[in-house]
Chains A and B, each alone.
Chain A
Amino acid sequence: MDRAHDLERPGRRRPSRRVGRATALAAVLPLAACSAGSPSTLDPAGTGAARIADLWWVLFWISAAVFAEVMVLLVWALVFRRGRRTRVRHGQPLRFVVIAGAGVPLVILVVVYALGLRDLAALGAGPGRDAHTIEVTGHKWWWEVRVPGIDGATANELHIPVGERVRVRLRTADVLHSFWVPQLMPKTDLIAGEVRETWLHAERAGSYRGQCAEYCGTQHAHMAFRVIAEPRPQFEAWLARLGSPARQPATEAERRGQQAFVQGTCAGCHAIRGTGADARIGPDLSDVGSRWSIGAGAVPNDAGHLGGWIVNPQTVKPGSYMPPQPVDAQRLPDLIAYLRSLE
């Protein structure tokens, strides 16, 4: 199964209407098209982010117009109001100052304020009562993902059904973090001692990058996650996998790897469902083989990086809470084979 590779690149089909606007931006800001494929707020894939992208273009064009006005006045002064023959005029054009500096801005601001309130209300509307709920807990520096009623967990990756609103309940295990999926939904902070809620909605299938947006210490830079929006059947399958034991070892090497995991230091912090390893200090690894990255966005998930991570995470993600592991050099390939098999 090579899903992980597919998911490295987010969905990038462009819906119709915003192409024109992106072109307009490209005219103003050369190379703006570089945003295609990045977790760009201007390439929204869901209702929440789409509203803000629309609002942005309104704000952008208003700003451009007012800026042009100021520049015209400034250039006018620089061209026509210098030189010895220019006569200084001593009037006090207060009406001009009040209309241009307060009146016009006031009208514009009332309009954009109303638009802002409209979008704030829309973002606050939330999903219906019977929507799916996903519980996300921020840790230094990874995301724990659970679904109420299901006794399993995953990390740095959450799945949602396309076209449906999904409630996301946010907690933190330590410091403040912020849950941000630029293409789907603006930020909601994770507040210590409190529970916050937001929701996600994707109009099209794809893998959307999210990242912690509140500075949370040494490895704030590597606290990314992905939201995978997929058709309902695949989503149901994900829920089912989340509730069932991890894949059993199929080869002799994988079996030895499992043994090394359970009997070694790994099981002191990590869980793999169905093996007896059930610690909850680090991420649950029951599906680690299919995840998009290792270390919440630190490195790609492949055998080489996995081996390097196990031997010494500090070279990959300095400051992370996983210490270097004293794994027997002969056992390491087995352990890697086993973890890679967990999909």
Chain B
Amino acid sequence: MSTTTAPPPGASQEDLARLEAHWGERASLRSWFGTVDHKRIGRRYLVTASLFFVLAGISALAMRTQLARPESSLLSPEEYNQLFTMHGTAMIFLFATPMLFGFGNFLVPLMIGSRDMAFPKLNALGYWVFLFAGLFMWASLPFGAAPNGGWFAYVPLTDDRNTPGLHMDVYTLGLLFLGIATTAGSINFIVTALKLRAPGMSLNRVPLFVWAIVATAFMVIFALPALNLDNAMLFLDRRFGTHFFDPEAAGNVLLWQHLFWIFGHPDVYIIVMPALGIVSAVLPAFTRRGVVGYVLIVLAIVSIAIISFGVWVHHMFATGLPHLSYSFFSAASTIITIPSGIQIFAWLATMLLGRLVVRVPLLFLIGFIVTFVLGGFTGAMFALTAFDQQVTDSYFVVAHFHYVLIGGAVFPILAGIYYWLPKMTGRMYHEGLGKWAFWLFFTGMQVAFFPMHLSGLFGMPRRVYTYRDEPGWDVWNLVSTIGAYILAVGLLLVLIGVVHAIRRGRPAPPDPWGGDTLEWSTDSPPRPYNFPVLPQVHSLHPTWDQPSRSSMAEDATADRILADGRRTLFTSELDGRRERVVEMPEASVQPLLLALAMLVFFTAMLFAWYPFAAAAAVAVAVTIAVWLWPPRRPEEELGVVR
């Protein structure tokens, strides 16, 4: 593996000292709570999302233990139903998206050659809101008040008559709260990627990972309002009797499903797309060439982002809607597999032309291809209405979406963890430990989930806390449970590998892999200001091309050092032409305070302490006003010309 060192910083010692003075954060309590550094925030996203992943994973192990044998009584139905609801809700909302947002936070500014996200304080707010919303939802479990209506929470089961108590209020309020973080993060990604790219990084030089993150962010912005609306209406129905979903008062129960899946299906791609971006980002280093078909992959990403809004009814194929509409949504759901097919074959072509360097990240990419392709087949099957009606809501669909989500998201995430661990921590991981982790995880995944295809085809419905001993069910359920434990051991080894790397790993060079994107042309871990000299980009693979590399080294012009303050560059949206220098905000505890005020608001709403909630709403408004109050600045900085 070629190991290169970073080019000597093109900035003088004096400039470096000034940059350090403006960007550096001293280790203090205030800086810990007030940091706006996208790298620290990104790492926090990753750690926190991993924590929620562990909780959701333990829930899954408890369920699998219950299902290992027929008529087991380890868990009561109430416990089981809360566990499967929290497992699904947490994996989707508290693990997958925040984990990928964590990668995005850490990597997007580095990959595009910027010094931070466009809105660093909003970024910090997003993290705190995510953390508090996650704790808000998980805290309900020890009290037996966790959501219990399934992650898609169909009415009327989830209304106040059929599910009294706090369960579903935790769900609706928790997701509304979390939605603030996801929306803020998405806006931030879009603006960052459009305005903060290094000079010369025109749209056709933007790394595929960044394309994927931006397409995802647009999808979030269009999809999330449907979910927020749904949850707001359900909360109003439950608390204030608004009857949006009550068929006895001219409400409609299918309205919930339509709105939910108008969000829910794009959400599958919201999860998978950034992970596919990781695949495109990791592959070049281990094939020693750029990914085949850059433009095709970009088109695939964009077309998935659009088509995914036209397929939601395939989650409702058994509800008895008119066949004409089914045939339309069936066609759209069939077509959406094509862009994924293009990406798969582009990666295969890359591997067939390049030279494979078989290290742990590549192993996880291979695991991804095998698993995701299998999930893709069953996905195309579900596009066929008649077939869907037979196997939906059975264990077959459980097998399907675990192949898609573990294959399409978890494998790439694990590849990404091993790949960027040196960049994030400055330490190398242990290769042997990583290989063991891969083989256990891969084997466990197949052993746990492949048999679910069979138990589903043999007629076993999903979401059952136990089952009678039907022939063909018990064997495959036992096998699934054994697989789940193997998978868990694999994940434990990943965790041990990360801890081992941080504690004992040998120091990582700036570019241990010979990667092609800009994060590899700066230190591991990067300094607080990312790049001593902001790069001038000349190609799609700036770290592999000499002009881009030397733009950060000798002869660097002072107008890309910007050592006079917390500064970075604005460039034009399409061509990446230099526009102007912008001032970035300082560390601040305002984001934390605002998130805390919101937490108080949502908690007060949950317990129906409405006066308290009103006070918290005022606190939220005041914090926002203080945050947005225009700072006093010298006139010339504001661009006032007299």
Residues in A lying within 8 Å of B, measured CB to CB:
29, 31-32, 34-42, 49, 51-52, 55-56, 59, 63, 66-67, 70-71, 73-74, 76-78, 81-83, 86-94, 96-98, 100-102, 105-106, 109, 112-113, 115-117, 119-124, 140, 174-176, 178, 180, 182-183, 186-189, 191-194, 196-197, 209, 211-221, 224, 297, 318-319
B461 and A96 within 8 A (CB) = no
B150 and A116 within 8 A (CB) = no
Query: Per-residue 0/1 for B374-393: is the Cβ within 8 Å of any A Cβ (1 yes, 0 no)?
Result: 10011011011111011111
Residue of A nearest to B344 (CB): A101
8 more A-B residue pairs beyond the given contacts A56-B457, A318-B76, with a C-beta to C-beta distance below 8 A: A41-B390, A49-B390, A74-B351, A93-B349, A100-B345, A101-B338, A101-B345, A182-B459
Q: Which residue of the partner chain, among B156, B320, B380, contacts A192 with CB atoms under 8 Å?
A: B156
Residues of B close to A102: CB separation below 8 A:
338, 341-342
Q: In the complex, A212→B334 CA distance in Å?
A: 28
Q: A39-B470, A94-B296, A188-B318 are in contact. Are A120 and B386 (CB under 8 A)?
A: yes
Q: Which residue of the partner chain, among A29, A55, A73, A193, contacts B386 with CB atoms under 8 Å?
A: A55
Q: In the complex, A76→B348 CA distance in Å?
A: 10
Q: Which residue of the partner chain, among B327, B374, B387, contacts A67 with CB atoms under 8 Å?
A: B374
Q: In the complex, A78→B348 CA distance in Å?
A: 11
* 15 A–B contacts, CB within 8 A, in A order: A34-B472, A37-B472, A40-B458, A70-B373, A77-B351, A78-B358, A97-B346, A116-B383, A175-B156, A176-B154, A180-B394, A194-B247, A213-B393, A220-B464, A221-B465
B475 and A209 within 8 A (CB) = no
Task: Report A91 CB to chain B, min CB distance, Å.
Answer: 6
Residues of A close to B383: CB separation below 8 A:
113, 116
B459 and A77 within 8 A (CB) = no
Q: Which residue of the partner chain, among A86, A123, A213, contacts B461 with CB atoms under 8 Å?
A: A213
Task: Report B171 CB to chain A, min CB distance, Å.
Answer: 14
B458 and A41 within 8 A (CB) = yes
User: Which of B23-31, B208-216, B248-256, B634-642 binds A?
Assistant: B248-256
- B546 is an interface residue with CB less than 8 A from chain A: no
- B191 is an interface residue with CB less than 8 A from chain A: no
Within 8 A of A (CB), among B358-384: 358, 366, 369-370, 373-374, 377-378, 380-381, 383-384
Within 8 A of A (CB), among B272-327: 287-289, 292-293, 296, 318-320, 323, 326-327
Q: In the complex, A140→B327 CA distance in Å?
A: 32
Query: Per-residue 0/1 for B434-468: is the Cβ within 8 Å of any A Cβ (1 yes, 0 no)?
Result: 00000000000000000000100111011111111
Q: In the complex, A89→B351 CA distance in Å?
A: 10
Residues of B close to A220: CB separation below 8 A:
461, 463-465
A34 and B471 within 8 A (CB) = yes
A55 and B387 within 8 A (CB) = yes
- B335 is an interface residue with CB less than 8 A from chain A: yes
The 9 closest A-B pairs by CB, nearest first: A193-B247, A116-B384, A101-B345, A186-B389, A39-B459, A221-B464, A182-B459, A119-B386, A63-B377
A115 and B349 within 8 A (CB) = no
A182 and B390 within 8 A (CB) = yes
Q: Which residue of the partner chain, among A41, A78, A106, A188, contacts B356 with CB atoms under 8 Å?
A: A78
Q: In the complex, A31→B481 CA distance in Å?
A: 17
Residues of A close to B248: CB separation below 8 A:
193
B352 and A81 within 8 A (CB) = yes
Residues of A close to B326: CB separation below 8 A:
120
A82 and B355 within 8 A (CB) = yes
Task: Report A296 CB to chain B, min CB distance, Å.
Answer: 11
Q: A82-B357, A91-B353 are in contact. Are A98 and B323 (CB under 8 A)?
A: no
Q: Could you tell me how many residues of chain B have their Cβ less than 8 Å away from some Cβ of chain A?
A: 88
Task: Report A73 CB to chain B, min CB distance, Å.
Answer: 5
Q: In the complex, A82→B466 CA distance in Å?
A: 48
Q: In the complex, A88→B458 CA distance in Å?
A: 48
B472 and A319 within 8 A (CB) = no
B356 and A77 within 8 A (CB) = yes
Q: In the complex, A105→B345 CA distance in Å?
A: 11
Residue of A nearest to B253 (CB): A192
- B536 is an interface residue with CB less than 8 A from chain A: no
Q: In the complex, A93→B156 CA distance in Å?
A: 53
Q: Which residue of the partner chain, among B366, B385, B390, B471, contacts A78 with CB atoms under 8 Å?
A: B366
- B354 is an interface residue with CB less than 8 A from chain A: yes
Task: Report B454 CB to chain A, min CB distance, Å.
Answer: 7
- B524 is an interface residue with CB less than 8 A from chain A: no
B461 and A212 within 8 A (CB) = yes
Residues in B lying within 8 Å of A, measured CB to CB:
76-78, 81, 149-150, 154, 156-157, 162-163, 247-248, 252-254, 287-289, 292-293, 296, 318-320, 323, 326-327, 330-331, 334-335, 337-338, 341-346, 348-349, 351-358, 366, 369-370, 373-374, 377-378, 380-381, 383-387, 389-394, 454, 457-459, 461-468, 470-473, 475-476
A88 and B349 within 8 A (CB) = no
Number of A-B contacts (CB under 8 A): 280
B157 and A217 within 8 A (CB) = yes
Task: Report B82 CB to chain A, min CB distance, Å.
Answer: 11
A174 and B162 within 8 A (CB) = yes
Residues of A close to B374: CB separation below 8 A:
63, 67
Q: Which residue of the partner chain, among A37, A140, A189, contacts B471 with CB atoms under 8 Å?
A: A37
Q: Which residue of the partner chain, among A34, A51, A197, contacts B475 with CB atoms under 8 Å?
A: A34
Task: Report B442 CB to chain A, min CB distance, Å.
Answer: 13
Q: A38-B471, A91-B353 are in contact. Are A67 and B373 (CB under 8 A)?
A: yes
B386 and A76 within 8 A (CB) = no
Residues of B close to A218: CB separation below 8 A:
77-78, 81
Residues of B close to A34: CB separation below 8 A:
458, 471-472, 475-476
Residues of A close to B457: CB separation below 8 A:
35, 40-42, 56
Residues of B close to A224: CB separation below 8 A:
468
A297 and B468 within 8 A (CB) = yes
Q: A49-B390, A101-B344, A117-B330 are in contact. Are A94 and B323 (CB under 8 A)?
A: no
Residue of A nearest to B162 (CB): A175
Q: Which residue of the partner chain, among B323, B343, B471, contacts A121 with CB atoms under 8 Å?
A: B323
Q: In the complex, A100→B475 CA distance in Å?
A: 38
Q: In the complex, A100→B342 CA distance in Å?
A: 8
Q: A89-B353, A97-B342 are in contact. Are A112 and B384 (CB under 8 A)?
A: yes
Residues of B close to A81: CB separation below 8 A:
351-356
A109 and B337 within 8 A (CB) = yes
Task: Report A45 CB to chain B, min CB distance, Å.
Answer: 12
* Among B334, B358, B471: residue with most chain A CB under 10 A: B471
Task: Report A14 CB to chain B, min CB distance, Å.
Answer: 14
Q: In the complex, A215→B593 CA distance in Å?
A: 40
Residue of B nearest to A219 (CB): B77
Q: In the complex, A29→B288 CA distance in Å?
A: 38
B247 and A124 within 8 A (CB) = no
Task: Report A268 CB to chain B, min CB distance, Å.
Answer: 21
Q: In the complex, A192→B348 CA distance in Å?
A: 48
Q: In the complex, A52→B387 CA distance in Å?
A: 6
B342 and A98 within 8 A (CB) = yes
Residues of B close to A196: CB separation below 8 A:
320
Q: A49-B390, A109-B334 are in contact. Are A77 and B157 (CB under 8 A)?
A: no
* Among B247, B289, B457, B475: residue with most chain A CB under 10 A: B457
Task: Report A138 CB to chain B, min CB distance, Å.
Answer: 12
Q: A67-B374, A182-B390, A297-B468 are in contact. Are A120 and B459 (CB under 8 A)?
A: no
Q: A112-B380, A175-B156, A189-B319 are in contact. Are A97 and B349 (CB under 8 A)?
A: yes
Q: In the complex, A88→B380 CA distance in Å?
A: 34
Q: In the complex, A47→B349 CA distance in Å?
A: 44
A92 and B338 within 8 A (CB) = no
Residue of A nearest to B381 (CB): A59
Task: Report A281 CB to chain B, min CB distance, Å.
Answer: 16
Task: Report A204 CB to chain B, min CB distance, Å.
Answer: 17
Residues of A close to B288: CB separation below 8 A:
88
Q: In the complex, A113→B337 CA distance in Å?
A: 13
Q: Which residue of the partner chain, among A36, A74, A105, A213, contacts B348 with CB atoms under 8 Å?
A: A74
Task: Report A55 CB to chain B, min CB distance, Å.
Answer: 6
Q: A93-B349, A97-B349 are in contact. Are A187 and B392 (CB under 8 A)?
A: yes
Q: A40-B457, A74-B369, A81-B355 are in contact. Are A191 and B254 (CB under 8 A)?
A: yes
